[in-house]
Copies of this chain bind each other. A is one copy, B any other.
């Protein structure tokens, strides 16, 4: 049965369902059928809207990367001086590490893909680049780079840790990395 006209919602719903499913069960166990069921679309829609599994995954992670970039933007665009920037970075780390399990898992899945396939690496480059650009408004390029890496490490460790470190430690680390050595 055809509705006669394009339903622009379809494509979006499929992508959203894909990300949800990956977050819950892992890339290893996604399938056209499971996604279709979750998005409440017929199986045939899968191959109609996406040329294959690969395209679907690329589109899904592209959308996810956009989402993360938005989170970075939201936190890092506002601060007016170095000190506010430090606070903002600390906030970011804590939001990322104790925010939705979903984003955490999806980030890891994306990194895993990025470690193997250049197509996905480009997605991570975009957001690393954007992040650095924000940081460079308040710190010199080298410092921005180091701080960016620190954000990554702090977020991951905090997320995986059984006894996550508190905000004071996060801020101390940020302060140290943004203070040139003697």
Q: Mark A106-125, 1 if CB is under 8 A from B, else 0.
A: 00110111111000010011
The answer to whether A173 touches B177 (Cβ under 8 A) is yes
Interface set, chain A 146-160, CB cutoff 8 A to B: 146, 148-154, 156-160
Residues in B neighbouring A115, C-beta threshold 8 A: 101, 104-105, 108, 159-160
Residues in B neighbouring A177, C-beta threshold 8 A: 150, 173, 176-177
Residues in B neighbouring A181, C-beta threshold 8 A: 172, 175-176, 179
The 8 Å CB contact of A146, one of B116, B149, B176, is B176
Instruction: State which size class the interface on A falls in.
Output: 35 or more
The 8 Å CB contact of A153, one of B27, B109, B113, B152, is B152
- Can you tell how many copies of this chain the complex includes? 2
The 8 Å CB contact of A149, one of B108, B125, B153, is B153
The 8 Å CB contact of A112, one of B108, B149, B169, is B108
The answer to whether A128 touches B104 (Cβ under 8 A) is no
Residues in B neighbouring A182, C-beta threshold 8 A: 179
The answer to whether B176 touches A157 (Cβ under 8 A) is no
The answer to whether A160 touches B27 (Cβ under 8 A) is no
* Nearest 9 pairs of A and B residues by beta carbon: A153-B153, A149-B153, A152-B153, A146-B173, A108-B112, A149-B157, A28-B28, A175-B181, A105-B115
Given A28-B28, A111-B111, A146-B154, 12 other A-B contacts at CB below 8 A?
A26-B112, A124-B160, A125-B162, A128-B160, A146-B176, A148-B153, A149-B150, A150-B173, A152-B157, A176-B180, A177-B177, A179-B182
